[in-house]
Amino acid sequence: MLKRTVWGITAAFVFAAVLFKGGILFHLSVMAIAILGLVEYFNMVERLGRKPYEGLTIGATLLFLASLYFFEFRPLVLVTFIGLFLLFIMAIPIYYSRGRSFVDGAVSIFGFMYVSIPSGIFITLRQMDLIHALLIVGYTWVNDSFAFFTGKLFGRHKLSPSISPGKTWEGFLGGALFSMLFGYIMGISAGLPPWKLALYGLIMAIFGTFGDLAESVIKREAGFKDSGNFIPGHGGVLDRVDALIINIMAYYVLMTVLGI
């Protein structure tokens, strides 16, 4: 328990320091986390009998994330998707002749969308303003933490027993409530619309919960308890960011459509 706590506090401190520092250090850190996340994802899908295009997907991820240091994300999105699609179309017959299937290509594309695209969005949002990164991380952390504590204290009704037996509806509601409260307080503190950020807190709690459950499905299908052991006592990278990567995309959509 002590080891888990020490590692957890250390990881949180390092992450916060890098987040506030920003710049090339943050950029490289996100790239490293994305690659580690992809490796964990590949390990799980390989247990399911798939043979993902590991080198191609990691190479495309490095190229995509590195290019964000020089180009804006928005015009790069369409180019990335079209370029990646063409690349994978060309790769399918090549890999097929080496014993890989079409499904292996689809699994690889999903890995890119699941890990690499959110990583790119997170880098871009941090480049735009620190407040975006703080809101995303804050919403996710507050929801996860208070969903856990509320569920422990008041949890009676299982949210999804076949996927995550420990999650309860009471925990979900507690996490969502405190996520909304966090958004409201941040709105007042930062001079932003508090009720809009409170609404974002509710939406992020919903998507974050689904992100957590989605990763649990992958682990259960593959027979993994944790996605890896990157942080002793805390599992792998994907175990730590499963809700965050979904919330990054949800926040980006909300910010683009509704503003902040």
> Across the chain, how many H-helices and E-strands are there?
10, 2
Q: Looking up tokens 């027993």, which residue turns up?
A: 161
Cα separations in angstroms, 76 against 21, 160, 241: 25, 37, 24
- State the pLDDT confidence band at 89, using cuts at 50, 70 and 90: confident
Mean pLDDT (the chain) is 88
pLDDT of residue 75: 64
Q: What is the pLDDT of residue 213?
A: 93
Domain locations in the chain as residue ranges: 1-128, 129-260
**Read out DSSP for 26-58?**
HHHHHHHHHHHHHHHHHHHHHHTT----HHHHH
Model confidence band, residue 194 (pLDDT cutoffs 50, 70, 90):
very high
Q: Is the pLDDT of residue 34 over 70?
A: yes
Residue 185: what pLDDT? Answer: 96
pLDDT tens digits, one per residue of 132-167: 999 999 999 999 999 999 999 998 899 988 898 889
Please report how many Cα atoms fall inside a 13 Å half-sphere around the Cα of residue 224, on the Cβ side. Answer: 23
Sorted by sequence, the CB contacts under 8 Å of residue 124 that are 6+ apart come out as 68, 72, 73
